[in-house]
A and B are shown apart, each in its own frame.
Chain A
């Protein structure tokens, strides 16, 4: 979106020396903001942007809705024989896919931000170094929750009934969002390495697309050739999809959940410091 000049008349202003001097002298320096408070403030910044441009939420609502309808009605009959059965299998998968696709936009957002002068100000503040990034990812997590909620609610409207009820659905969503938070550090790193928002988008989807399709999100791996099947089994996205299905149905295995959390933690441990370093030097 480009900034259109508006017709607001600029209010007349004569610098009021007394007021400026008063403003300069009136604030004692407060104690430094805590790491958490700084990160949450940056999360709030993300929310304000959504408030000013609510259209941003369209990516995270329309696309998942399209995915659910398309997979249920277009492919459902062909792959599983009936739409109802397929919905049971596919809904947690679509939840995983849609939220993970949304993480690419976190990288795009970081890249876009870097072109703005305000980043220099943020980097010159006496705050916890990773705060701008952590905060923006916290803000993005809200988008992930919105996307996930839309999918689950639409599924329920179409007849999906998670075996473990609301608790199961919430647990599955929470697990997906935690994993997405870890994964989004990969894309923020990419966002700081590549030159343009478009390059980040392309590279991001080039990575996330095959990983998602080579998982058990859409198809039962038993039907695949042996080599592919082996990959699908170790693909963390398969394990995430399996764990989410399990949580929805109340049959989750602790090992799967543990692996998902471990992968999310590992991605964060490797890529968060890397992102922070790159951000500092960008």
Chain B
């Protein structure tokens, strides 16, 4: 076993599907014991990257070492060190929660009694003891995700891949999953977390790679990313939501691309210069837009994404529920 301080070192990973370059030269360096966020909108190439690193597909070009092992030449050693929680719930819907965990325990080499005991312990820890004997297809989205994560730690992995663990969950279930992820981090598990939720990466990750169209377009800590697009943002809340288009126009002209916030009366824009911010506010007032309040503060990752790509990240929390849709079809 090599003792690189890195859990993942990827250089120039490429994967094409026909004309689509799903992943187009991705480099990653993930330290052991950290949570690394791969942040990007739907179709950016997150899942394809994870599938290469977890040895499910071979890269067309480039190479990577995961926990010190080459993903192509030492795929078995990689598999023995990692676990995967896929974007589609990676549990068997036609079995019960208990059967799922026991099955995985057996496949990972536990004897039958040990596999059963381990399943019971995990079901307890993840609040699924009561639902243990129920078929997974009758689980709620949150319960399914928790089982999915439990399934990934039947044998404690050195590195865990989490592909959009909270997509499609309601806010309460999302918080529960976040708490579980935090507990795993506290225990020292290295995690590669793919997400389209900027808030999720901000909350959980130590380092973030922003990817778009199969390429890493920015990398750093959440703080560095924010700093790289300017130290702050101007947040404005209007008295009348119907004046937002007008406000967007004025701020866009004065400061650059504007982010429309979930609050229909709020908008924000990257702005590192207080004087220019003040001018923009004055300009707003002059054009007849009524302002409820405004502040100049740190930029959020939403603004980071906008500044990097020139367009907003497509997905925001609370969007239609993709996981549930996939299960319903």
Interface flag for A120 (CB, 8 Å): yes
Q: How far is the CB of A85 from chain B (nearest CB, A)?
A: 45
Beta-carbon contact of B138 and A8 below 8 Å: yes
Contact code string B115-142 (vs A, CB < 8 Å = 1, else 0)? 0001001101111101100110110101
Q: Chain B nearest CB: distance from A9 CB in Å?
A: 10
- Let me know if A27 and B88 touch, CB within 8 A: no
- Taking a contact as CB atoms under 8 Å apart, the answer to whether B92 and A45 are in contact is yes
Residues in B whose Cβ lies below 8 Å from that of A117: 86-91
**A124 within 8 A of partner (CB):** yes
Query: B180 to A15, Cβ gap below 8 A?
Result: yes
Question: Is A57 located at the chain interface by the 8 A CB criterion?
Answer: no
CB–CB B327/A14 < 8 A:
no
Instruction: Please state if B183 and A30 are interface contacts (CB–CB under 8 Å).
Output: no
Contact B179 A15 (CB under 8 A): yes
* CB–CB A17/B107 < 8 A: no
Task: Determine which of A21, A32, A44 lies in contact with B109 in the assembled complex, contact meaning CB atoms within 8 Å.
Answer: A32
Complex Cα spacing A82 to B55, Å: 62
Contacts of A53 in B (CB 8 A): 94
B residues 311-327 in Cβ contact with A at 8 Å: 327
Q: A116, B106: Cβ atoms under 8 Å?
A: no
Tell which of A33-41, A176-184, A188-196 binds the partner: A33-41
Which single residue of chain A is at the shortest CB-CB distance from B54? Answer: A124
Q: Quick one: which of A8-23 are within 8 Å of B by CB?
A: 8, 10-17, 19-23
Distance between Cα atoms of A260 and B220 in the complex (Å): 64
Complex partner residue of B156 from A6, A24, A37, CB under 8 angstroms = A24
User: What 1/0 flags go to A247-282 for Cβ under 8 Å of B?
Assistant: 000000000000000000000000000000000010
Q: How far is the CB of A249 from chain B (nearest CB, A)?
A: 42
Within 8 A of A (CB), among B174-202: 176, 179-180, 182-184, 186-187, 189
Stretch at the interface among B77-85, B255-263, B270-278, B296-304: B77-85
By beta carbon, the residue of chain A nearest B118 is A27
User: A33: nearest residue on chain B (CB-CB)?
Assistant: B109
- Inter-subunit contact B138/A27 (CB<8 Å): no
Question: Which residues of B131-161 have CB atoms within 8 Å of chain A's CB atoms?
Answer: 131, 134-135, 137-138, 140, 142-143, 146, 150-151, 153-156
On whether A16 and B125 interact (CB within 8 A), knowing A118-B91, A125-B79, the answer reads yes
- What is the distance, in angstroms, from B101's C-beta to the closest C-beta of chain A? 11
Contact with A along B23-56 (1 / 0, CB 8 A): 0000000000000000000000000000100111
Closest to A6 in B: B138
Query: Is B93 at the interface (CB under 8 A from chain A)?
Result: yes
How far, in Å, is B286 (CB) from chain A's closest CB? 51
**A38's closest neighbor in chain B, by CB?**
B107
> Chain A contacts of B94 at CB under 8 A?
49, 52-53
A11–B91 contact, CB under 8 A?
no
Known: A52-B135, A120-B56, A121-B86. A126 touches B92 (CB 8 A): no
A250, B28: Cα distance in complex, Å: 68
Bound-state CA distance A190–B128 (Å) is 38
Please, which residue of chain A has its CB at the minimum distance from the CB of B161?
A: A124
Contacts of A15 in B (CB 8 A): 126-127, 176, 179-180, 183
B-chain residues with CB within 8 Å of residue A4 when the two chains form the complex: 138
Assembled-state Cα–Cα distance A32/B106 (Å):
10
Which B residue's beta carbon lies closest to that of A129? B76
Decide: A21 near B142, CB < 8 A? Known: A13-B176, A15-B176, A41-B103. Answer: no
The answer to whether A17 touches B179, judged by C-beta atoms less than 8 angstroms apart, is yes
In the assembled complex, the Cα of A93 lies from the Cα of B183 at a distance in Å of: 62
The reply on A223 being an interface residue by CB < 8 A is no
Residues of B within 8 A of A54 (CB): none
Residues of B within 8 A of A122 (CB): 107
Interface centre among B89, B137, B153 (most CB of A within 10 A): B137
CA distance A120 to B47 in the complex (A): 12
Cβ of B151: which chain A residues have Cβ within 8 Å of it?
A: 121
Nearest-CB residue, chain A, relative to B153: A24
Q: A127 at interface (Cβ–Cβ under 8 A)? A: yes
Q: Is the CB of B186 within 8 A of A23?
A: no
CB contacts under 8 Å to B, within A122-178, are: 122-127, 131
Known contacts A15-B180, A117-B88: A45-B95 contact under CB 8 Å: yes
Say yes or no for A31: interface residue by CB 8 A criterion.
yes
* A30, B327: Cβ atoms closer than 8 Å: no
Residue B248 is within 8 A (CB to CB) of chain A in the complex: no
8 contacts between A and B (CB under 8 A): A6-B138, A15-B127, A17-B179, A24-B189, A31-B109, A49-B94, A123-B56, A131-B107
Which residue numbers of B lie inside 8 Å of A, CB to CB?
51, 54-57, 76, 79-80, 82-84, 86-95, 99, 103-104, 106-111, 114, 118, 121-122, 124-128, 130-131, 134-135, 137-138, 140, 142-143, 146, 150-151, 153-156, 176, 179-180, 182-184, 186-187, 189, 327
A residues within 8 Å of B by Cβ?
3-6, 8, 10-17, 19-27, 29-33, 37-38, 41-42, 44-45, 48-49, 52-53, 116-118, 120-127, 131, 281
Nearest 6 pairs of A and B residues by beta carbon: A117-B88, A13-B127, A15-B179, A3-B137, A121-B90, A30-B109
Given contacts A19-B124, A41-B103, 5 further A-B contacts (CB under 8 A): A26-B121, A117-B86, A117-B89, A124-B79, A124-B84
